[in-house]
Chain A
Amino acid sequence: MNAERRTRLEEAGIDVGEALERMLGSEALLERLLGKFPADPNFAALGEALAEGDAQRAVAAAHTLKGVCANLSMTGLHSLFTRQVEALRGGDMSAAAQLMEQIAPAMAAVTAAIGDGDGER
């Protein structure tokens, strides 16, 4: 992983140093796991569940995404999903839906940063 890519990922809200520590320094593992992130079906499922008012499905998806973001040290997204899970568990569907306004651009930024590396890998 070159310095440029590392900077790009960090600008998108990923604590690369922490994430690498969790992978015991394996850049290959980190890249493999980051590569799966854009295709994670839970984000689409979360959007649908919120639109349909399905709180149970929404909390399951948000919870999983929260875990994924924690593991990949996506600090900004992780705190957003943490707030969303809390809102959903508290029964506040509208607050959870509103959070999507911040979550969506953060997701897009991370996905874009990860996608940039496609050519390198």
Chain B
Amino acid sequence: MDLESPTAAEGRETLLIVDDDEINRAILENVFSPSYDILEAGDGLEGLRAIMSAPERLCAVLLDVVMPELDGLSVLRRLHESGLTLTLPVFLITAEASDSVLREAYGLGVMDVISKPVVPYVVRRRVQSVIELFQARRRLSSTVESQHARLLEQARQIIELNVGMVEALAAAIEFRSEESGGHVRRIHDITRFLLERTPFGSGLTPEAIEEISLASMLHDVGKIAVPDAILNKPGRLTPEEFAVMKTHTVQGAALLARIPQLRRGGLRYAEDIARHHHERWDGRGYPDGLRGDEISVWAQAVSLADVYDALSCKRVYKDAFPRERVLEMIKNGECGAFNPRLLECFFSAEEELSHMYKKEVMA
């Protein structure tokens, strides 16, 4: 084999000659053997078998038309049916090519029709050009494929990094609040559950629910701006202290607004959630006193998730309440006023949510 062969590197270096005439095969073999490995078949059936057994090793097929067993056009038809003519260039070598034969052959995807007796430098140039074209196509498409895979991998890494940063930021706030840990993770899970598994999230795409759940972890990011003495004070806050505490909503939204990348990075909901997760359905919440449907679906969901989790766990200012009491307090509006439809969805699904607190409540 010629080491200079342009196909050697790809493993496609075999040229198949299908012709019942030994002399034709010998002449073509003589033309192409310096550049390619040569495989010969003496009739159409043998040729078809040689192709089908391992089409990927072939760089081209030279096909006679008039042959016993299976003629060249029949071979071509089979190759066309199996889609092979798209990746394997086929040349018809014929002494008499009628219009109808040419028309059918080109319709079946033949790359070129070369007349017999062949003129060596013509057939060599024509066949090599097409082989090189197919090689270039294969190289290009494999390059595009690997670039595409690389881009997907990079996108995945960016999303992972994004989630990691959000979790790290949320965990930092949580540690500062000296909370039991896992709060933001549970808010994420509860929010996702309410939107994904109950009718409250109908109308939201899976991608939106994904983004909202991630954004929910940043709902208390504004607590960074609240002094330790207030944040970690056991027992009730004075009205002045409570006023400072309430600013975590506006502070959080202002902080997130300063990171424009968040909007593009799938956290477009974070600012709204940070600002409005203490609004109430009856309009008596803060900071904006929004009422009813003025509060976004995602802010409502995070708001309920936050209350439910706070009641179910021990905090610096309180113990964990038993499940029955938690549900009672939410039902009676002791911890906020919620959309009746949201409550209906929540109570229908709460059984499953309660499992995540089993250990903590018993502890």
**Contacts A24-B120, A29-B30, A70-B116 hold; do A36 and B22 have CB atoms under 8 A apart?**
yes
CB distance from A17 to the nearest CB of B (A): 13
Interface size in chain A (residues, C-beta < 8 A): 19
Residues of A within 8 A of B362 (CB): none
**Centre residue among B20, B30, B120 by max chain A CB count within 10 A:** B30
Q: Which residues of A contact B116 (CB under 8 A)?
A: 67, 70-71
Residues of B within 8 Å of A64, CB to CB, are 20-21
**Which residues on the A side are within 8 Å of B22 (C-beta)?**
36
With a cutoff of 8 Å between Cβ atoms, the chain A residues found around residue B24 in the complex are 67, 71
**Is residue A68 contacting chain B, with contact meaning CB distance below 8 A?**
yes
- Cα(A63)–Cα(B66), bound, Å: 9
CA distance A40 to B38 in the complex (A): 24
Taking CB atoms, residues of chain A closer than 8 Å to B30 are 23-24, 26, 29
Distance, CA A36 to CA B21, complexed state (A): 12
In the complex, B11 has a CB within 8 A of chain A: no
Q: Given A29-B26, A36-B23, are A21 and B95 also a contact pair (CB < 8 Å)? A: no
Contacts of A22 in B (CB 8 A): 27, 117-120
- Complex interface: chain B residues within 8 A of A73 (CB): 117
Interface size on B, residues (CB 8 A): 16
**In whole angstroms, what is the CA distance A73 to B118 when docked?**
11
Q: Which residue of A lies closest to B115 (CB)?
A: A70
Mark interface residues in A14-57 (1 if CB within 8 Å of B CB, else 0). 00000001111010010011001000000000000000000000
CB-CB under 8 A from A32, the residues of chain B are: 26
- Given the complex of chains A and B, what is the CA–CA distance between A102 and B116 in angstroms? 24
CB distance from B259 to the nearest CB of A (A): 72
Partner of B23, one of A24, A26, A72: A72
Partner of A33, one of B20, B26, B31: B26
Chain A nearest CB: distance from B187 CB in Å? 80
Interface residues of B in 137-186 (CB under 8 A from A): none
CB atoms of B120 and A71 under 8 A apart: no
How many whole Å from B322's CB to the nearest CB in chain A?
A: 96
Give complex CA distance A72, B22 in Å: 12
Whose C-beta in chain A lies nearest to the C-beta of B26? A33
Q: B43 → chain A, closest Cβ, in Å? A: 13
Q: Supply 30 A–B pairs (Cβ within 8 Å), ascending by A.
A: A21-B119, A21-B120, A22-B117, A23-B27, A23-B30, A24-B30, A24-B31, A24-B120, A29-B27, A29-B30, A32-B26, A33-B26, A33-B27, A36-B22, A36-B23, A60-B66, A63-B66, A63-B95, A64-B21, A67-B95, A67-B116, A67-B117, A70-B95, A70-B117, A71-B23, A71-B27, A71-B116, A71-B117, A72-B23, A73-B117
* Interface of B toward A, CB cutoff 8 Å: 20-24, 26-27, 30-31, 66, 95, 116-120
Give the 7 A-B CB pairs with smallest separation, nearest first: A70-B117, A71-B117, A71-B23, A33-B23, A24-B120, A29-B30, A68-B23
